[in-house]
Every structure is written in C-alpha cells, then in structure tokens.
Amino acid sequence: MLHFEWPWIFLVLPLPWVARRLLAPRPKQDEAALEIPFIADFQWSSFPSIAPERPLRWLWYTAILAWLLLVCATARPAWLGEPVDLPASGRDLMLAVDLSGSMQTKDFKINGNPIDRLTVAKQVAADFIRRRVGDRTGLILFGLNAYLQAPLTLDRETTARLLEEAEIGLAGKETAIGEAIGLAVKKIRESPKNSRALILLTDGANTAGVVSPLKAAQLAASEGIKIYAIGVGADEMMVRSLFGTQRIDPSADLDEKTLTAMADLTHGRYFRAKDTATLEEIYRLLDELEPVAREKQAHRPTTALFYWPLTLSLLLAGLVLARQKWGRGVS
C-alpha cells in the first residue's frame, strides 16, 4: 500500500494561491526610454513571425503540476510491502571465550591430528551460534581483560565470523573469568527475564582481574542470568622431553570447583569437555535450551518513492523556466 510519512505537508498545497491573493502586486518602475528614429519601421506588425505570443495555458498547468509533485515528494511517499513476521521466541545468549595462553595447548584431535583447544572451541562454538535461529547472540573475548567483541544481535553469521577470527593472546595471556562474567551481566541485564544466559568456555582458573568469579556469579544470579560453564582440556597428554616421553595432565590448572559453584549459584550447569566429541555433545545439549516466548513482532519492508515525483517536478520546473527565458529573449 502507498504510505506518506509526512501527510501534513499537503496542507501547503494552496500556498501559491494564498500568496497571490494576499501579497500586493509588484509596483511597476519607470524605465528609461530609448528614442529610436523611424520607430515605425520597427513595429512588431512588420515582423509577424517573431511577434510575442500571449502566455500559453499549458505553461500554467505545467507550473501547477510541478508544484503538486514537489509537495508530494516532500511528504515522503513510500510503498509498504506485506508484513513479515519476525522470530517470536528465543534467548539472549552471550558467549565468553577464553583466549589465554594455555588455550594453545594441543591436547584435542580432529581426524587424528593434534589441534589446539582454541581452534576446536571456535569451530564447535561457531556452528552452535549459526544453529541458534531466533536467538540474539553476543561474544566476549577474555584473557588479562574482557572485551565485548559482538553485542547481542540476530546477525548470527557476523558473531560466528568474529569468533572464528579470534587469536590466542588477543586479550592478554592471563585469565580474568570474573571480569568476563561482570561484562556479560552488564550487557544482557536489560534483556527479558528468563531469557538471559551466559555460556563461558575456559581451560584454567581465574588469575587476573579485580572481581572474583564467585562474586560475579552472585551478581549474575541476582539479575536472573544463568551461567553454563564449559571446562576444556584433556585428562592426560603424552609429551616428549630430554628424559623421553612423559604422561602429563594438561588440565591441572582447570578450576572445576569454582566453575561448578558458579553454575550452581545461577541455576545453570557445568560441563567438562575432554575431547572434541565431548565438546560437540555439550553444545548439542545447550541447543536444547527452552526458548522463551516474546511479544510477536512484524516488519513491513518499505521502498522509498519520493525521488520519482521530485525528479518529475524538477524537470517540469526547468521546462517552465526555459520557456520563460526564451519568451523574454525574443521580446
């Protein structure tokens, strides 16, 4: 349907007629006369082919039409398409991903090849983000400090791409879990209740920041934000040294006790990802989060049309001005 954004503009349509009726006519000024000998030889009757014509009626109609089109363009006409329903349910999910130095440990495998923790986490989490149709997703990267990489948005592809571009050490080499939770609370506290969740992925313990993870978790609980914590890292790993091959625990620094306590405080859940398959299964479980119904919204695509009447108005006005100039030139 046709829609005008500023329909009140049509009130100025009679403005030229009002101005003509109310304003006094311009007084005629005395002009210097040039006396020409044999003036009779220069009478217009001697040159009927170039004698000035009376104003043409179509010129007035053209000027009026140009004014109408100009007013119409100013009213901002637009064509409204059919309503398109937007997703009426979903959650606001903020993902916080650890970029500390320990995330480069190669204790995960893909197709039998050793892969560092961050590469696997990015691949699995990016696929998870792309599957969350109807959810708003955001991204926080943390290390020594926590940074908002992507605010909550329905543009899942952009959030996933920003996660895939993250690199080790981008936010510092240490681990500020409390700072990441605090930033997440700040960014999603305005979301509808019962739809707020933070998915936090880390492989260590809190070693930086001024806010402890448990204090930050208490703040999240007071705001109704659930924390789903994921601890990544294998139980054992074979490494070579001067003394031969040794079996070590690459996840010795993982603070599972604190991560579990944070999840319990917020009525969330703690997951342990020891390999790639387990991590993929965790995100499949997170996929089963119940969506929370929101108020139904609809969007009507709008196509601006003002440039059509504006272009025609300028063309007609130019035609009128050109005709007046030509008329004066031959008179």
Helix, strand, or coil (residue 47): coil
First to last CA, the chain: 49
Domain ranges of the chain: 1-14+56-82+300-331, 89-293
Domain 89-293 has CATH 2.40.160.20: no
Range name among 49-53, 80-84, 134-138, 248-252 with the lowest pLDDT average? 49-53
Written as one letter, the residue type at 285 is L
In this prediction, residue 27 carries a pLDDT of 62
The answer to whether residue 173 scores a pLDDT higher than 50 is: yes
Give 227-254 pLDDT, tens digit per residue: 999 999 888 776 676 666 777 777 888 9
User: Which residues are bridge partners to 227 per DSSP?
Assistant: 198
**136-142: strand order across its sheet:** 146-153, 136-142, 92-98, 196-202, 226-232, 269-273
Mean pLDDT of 136-162: 93
Phi and psi based region of residue 172 (left: phi greater than 0; alpha: psi -120 to 50; beta: remaining): left
Asked if 174 and 147 touch (Cβ cutoff 8 Å), the reply is no
In this prediction, residue 38 carries a pLDDT of 44
> In degrees rounded to 5, what are phi and psi of residue 132?
-85, 65
Token pair, residue 156, equals 């899942």
The residue behind tokens 């010129």 is: 59
Best CA proximity match to 268, nearest among 198, 180, 218, 203:
198
The answer to whether residue 312 scores a pLDDT higher than 50 is: yes
C-alpha to C-alpha distance for 227 and 196, rounded to whole angstroms: 9
More confident residue, 151 or 326: 151
C-alpha to C-alpha distance for 295 and 250, rounded to whole angstroms: 47
In this prediction, residue 42 carries a pLDDT of 41
In this prediction, residue 76 carries a pLDDT of 92
The residue behind tokens 């101005």 is: 19
